[in-house]
Amino acid sequence: MFTGSRLTVDLAKQFAWLLRKDLRDTFASKDDPGFAEWWLIKGRQEFPGWADSLDADQRNALFASAGTATIAGVQLDVPKLASLLAKYRPDAVKEFAKDGKLQNELFFAWVVVRGLADHQLAQHVPRSLVAALDQPVPDTLAKAGEDDASAANSVPAATLLMYLLWRLMDDKTQQARSLYTAQGRLAFLGWFFNVVGTLGIAPLVAGRWKAWVQSPEGAAALATQKTTAAKLPWLAPNTKQQAAAPSTTADKPFGLNIYGFAYGELGIGEDLRMAVECCEAAGIAYHVVNVDAGDARQADLHLKGKVSEGTELPPYNTNLFCLPAFDTVSRVFMQKGAAVFEGYRNIGWWPWELAVFPKAWKPYAFELVDEVWASSTFLEEMYKQATDKPVKLVPLAVSVERMKPYPRKHYGLPEKKFLFLYIFDFNSSVARKNPMAAVQAFKQAFKPTDNTVGLVLKTMNTKPNNPEWQAFLKECQTDKRIQLITETLDRPEVLGLINACDAYVSLHRAEGFGRTLAEAMLLGKPVVATNYSGNVDFMQNELAHPVEFKLIDLDRTAYQWIDVSDAAAWAEVNINDASSKLKICTNIFDRISIDTDIFNANYIAKKMTHAFGRLDA
């Protein structure tokens, strides 16, 4: 466990630099003033875990006066921030330009009402700007001759903040909530205080209005919107007691806060779901924190009811990140901030596929964790070379209990052929998964006239206009015995597909673990796979048909985060050997059983508890 002293804004900025190639292409270095400016305006917007990371000097620079302006009869200092937002938000400039000229008042209204909230800056607005925005707009002062003189005396003038929001309304709404009549202003005030929380501009509202909203006059205004002060969340005092959260591991009960893609229909999501099964087998208390999986389908509801959907800090003393290191950075640290890590023992159960860890990330990624768990001896060796943090071998559990035994016709597959299967995701690295090698080995192994065999390729997340997909599709279409399944299936169906086929093939260039290979073995299927990387650990049985390979240099453009300096390599499979192993599989008629203990949740649970040391530590 660490205190978090190393989890600083500088580390967050370094991660932003590493995550964003466009920034590295734009700015000379991380020390470039342009990058510092980008971080202030855009970085904290894109990485909300660091939205509160402004120091006094940065805040003063953003809100320093860049000149004065008079708006609706009110004079104020325009902060430098307005010109920076004009630079970084061309969409807003375009929205408020007319005949090629920026409408300054409307653009400034956008800056205050939308830009500050969009860029996580409303909470940092200085009191001087709040006071300036609270000035009354002279033409909306109560005066004799208004449509209802008695109402005019009880409805206060609109402030500059209110005016700026009103200016962004369409003409019809402006007329219905006119600031220049008592009744219209009353309707506007009721609406305004009903939406400031949703708009994110409550920090811009001067304190005096809290008392007014709860006064008889304020209640009358809110009544126009059929609401009351009691229903306005932004009025409630901030009852969050961050300090009440235990600050060290000793203050928290033993257990695991498991972070990952709880609903994600992808292998990494299954890593988390199986980690939960291991905790249940070992009697370890756990708390599941779902991490947004982005574009991946998130419809696996196996853990529904066991997943935390809240924003509070998790309760147990140990965090287990069932995510790649880079997702732990981008989807947890950069989105949720340092508080998630501070005061916890942090373990990265980090998948990775190559024999080297990217050099550029080594000095920074391991700052987030106290130790690393490797799911294979291949990864154990790699992580021990990459960090001096403790590295422990803790394999992943694998289960096929959710399998539904669908018949072949459910998948549109032929009944009487010997079917080889390969499952891969186009969102993953296609070069690493290497499906073209499976196609080539199949074609070499079986003559075009041999209709007793077939190759089933189950993939998802294909993109019709992707040249790589188009080339692969063209190659597959040259052989009618090759069948593609591109729709996303739920997990019981995927396991049912493995069960419905006769053998599994994976001529990958690298695998961190190889979950689908293990699942095929658990279902008694012979597996033809590259004799390299994580899957080697469990390919020591009669079902395994390891394929020869040679190591080749990895093109730096072929894999994310890898650079030339990493000198990365991976396997180039021997197609001749692969084709001969495919032929061998067709002669296996008896179902073969293997020792499944190495995949069992109870067995892995013992590995986990051994990795923890004392359970009450």
pLDDT digits (tens, 9 = 90+) for 511-548: 999 999 999 999 999 999 999 999 999 998 889 999 99
Q: Residue 281 pLDDT more than 50?
A: yes
**Band of pLDDT at residue 449, cut at 50, 70 and 90:** very high
Do 166 and 72 meet the contact criterion of CB atoms below 8 Å apart? no
DSSP string, 152-196: HHHSPPPBHHHHHHHHTS-HHHHHHT-TTSHHHHHHHHHHHHHHH
Sign of the alpha-carbon dihedral angle for 514, 520, 523, 528: negative
| Residues facing residue 454 across a β-bridge | 419
What pLDDT score does 247 carry?
A: 62
What pLDDT score does 427 carry?
A: 72
Q: Residue 602 pLDDT more than 60?
A: yes
pLDDT digits (tens, 9 = 90+) for 197-250: 999 999 999 999 999 999 998 999 999 899 999 999 888 765 444 444 446 777
What pLDDT score does 251 carry?
A: 86
Average confidence score pLDDT of the chain: 91
What pLDDT score does 541 carry?
A: 87
d(CA 467, CA 293): 25
Mean pLDDT of 389-410: 96
**Band of pLDDT at residue 140, cut at 50, 70 and 90:** confident
Do 14 and 23 meet the contact criterion of CB atoms below 8 Å apart? no
pLDDT digits (tens, 9 = 90+) for 580-590: 999 999 987 66
SS in 3 state form for 474-517? HHHCCCCCEEEECCCCCHHHHHHHHHHCCEEEECCCCCCCCHHH
Do 190 and 223 meet the contact criterion of CB atoms below 8 Å apart? yes
Mean pLDDT of 569-579: 98
What pLDDT score does 581 carry?
A: 97
**Band of pLDDT at residue 338, cut at 50, 70 and 90:** very high
Mean pLDDT of 260-282: 94
d(CA 488, CA 265): 9
> What are the start and end residues of each CATH 3.40.50.2000 domain in the chain?
408-596
CB proximity list for 35: less than 8 A, separation 6 or greater: 13, 17, 23, 27, 29
List the single range of 227-236, 250-259, 267-276, 459-468 with lowest mean pLDDT. Answer: 459-468
- The kind and range of the H/E element at 381 are helix 377-386
Nearest CA among 35, 32, 36 for reference residue 23: 35
Backbone angle region of 118, left / alpha / beta, with phi > 0 → left and psi within -120 to 50 → alpha: alpha
Do 47 and 119 meet the contact criterion of CB atoms below 8 Å apart? no
**Which residue type occupies 319?**
N
Q: Residue 187 pLDDT more than 80?
A: yes
Mean pLDDT of 42-50: 93
**Band of pLDDT at residue 5, cut at 50, 70 and 90:** low
List the single range of 51-65, 337-351, 505-519, 577-591 with lowest mean pLDDT. Answer: 577-591
Q: Which long-range contacts (CB under 8 A, 24 or more apart) does 194-202 make?
A: 194/222, 194/225, 194/227, 194/232, 196/234, 197/232, 197/233, 197/234, 199/113, 199/114, 199/117, 199/165, 200/116, 200/117, 200/122, 201/112, 201/113, 201/116, 201/117, 201/122, 201/161, 201/165, 202/122, 202/234
Domain 408-596: which CATH number of 3.40.50.720, 3.40.50.2000, 3.30.70.360, 3.40.50.150:
3.40.50.2000
Tokens of 126: 């200085």
Mean pLDDT of 74-98: 95
From the number of C-beta atoms within 10 Å of its C-beta (0-12, 13-18, 19+), residue 356 rates as middle
Q: Residue 471 pLDDT more than 80?
A: yes
Tokens of 513: 């673990």
Identify the architecture of domain 244-393 in CATH: 3-Layer(aba) Sandwich (3.40)
What pLDDT score does 147 carry?
A: 52
Mean pLDDT of 5-13: 89
What pLDDT score does 395 carry?
A: 95
What pLDDT score does 143 carry?
A: 54
Mean pLDDT of 339-350: 96
d(CA 423, CA 296): 16
Mean pLDDT of 354-372: 97
Of the segments 143-147, 368-372, 599-603, which one has the largest average pLDDT value?
368-372
**Band of pLDDT at residue 461, cut at 50, 70 and 90:** confident
% of residues, the chain, pLDDT over 90:
75
Q: At what angle do helices 182-199 and 160-167 cross, to 10 degrees?
A: 90
DSSP 8-state symbol, 367: G
Q: Residue 579 pLDDT more than 60?
A: yes
Nearest CA among 209, 252, 241, 267 for reference residue 424: 267
What pLDDT score does 296 carry?
A: 78
What pLDDT score does 158 carry?
A: 94
pLDDT digits (tens, 9 = 90+) for 321-330: 999 999 999 9
Do 555 and 472 meet the contact criterion of CB atoms below 8 Å apart? no
List the single range of 17-26, 482-491, 598-607 with lowest mean pLDDT. Answer: 598-607
Report angle CA 212, 218, 221 to the nearest 5 degrees: 150
What pLDDT score does 194 carry?
A: 93
Q: At what angle do helices 467-476 and 435-445 cross, to 10 degrees?
A: 10
Q: Residue 361 pLDDT more than 60?
A: yes
> What are the start and end residues of each CATH 3.40.50.11930 domain in the chain?
244-393
Q: Residue 104 pLDDT more than 60?
A: yes
Half-sphere exposure for 151 (CA within 13 Å, toward CB): 15
Do 300 and 490 meet the contact criterion of CB atoms below 8 Å apart? yes
Mean pLDDT of 168-175: 94
What pLDDT score does 112 carry?
A: 97
Residue 530 three-state SS: strand
Identify the residue with better confidence: 602 or 14: 14
Q: Residue 393 pLDDT more than 90?
A: yes
Identify the residue with better confidence: 143 or 350: 350
Residue 81 three-state SS: helix
What pLDDT score does 615 carry?
A: 42
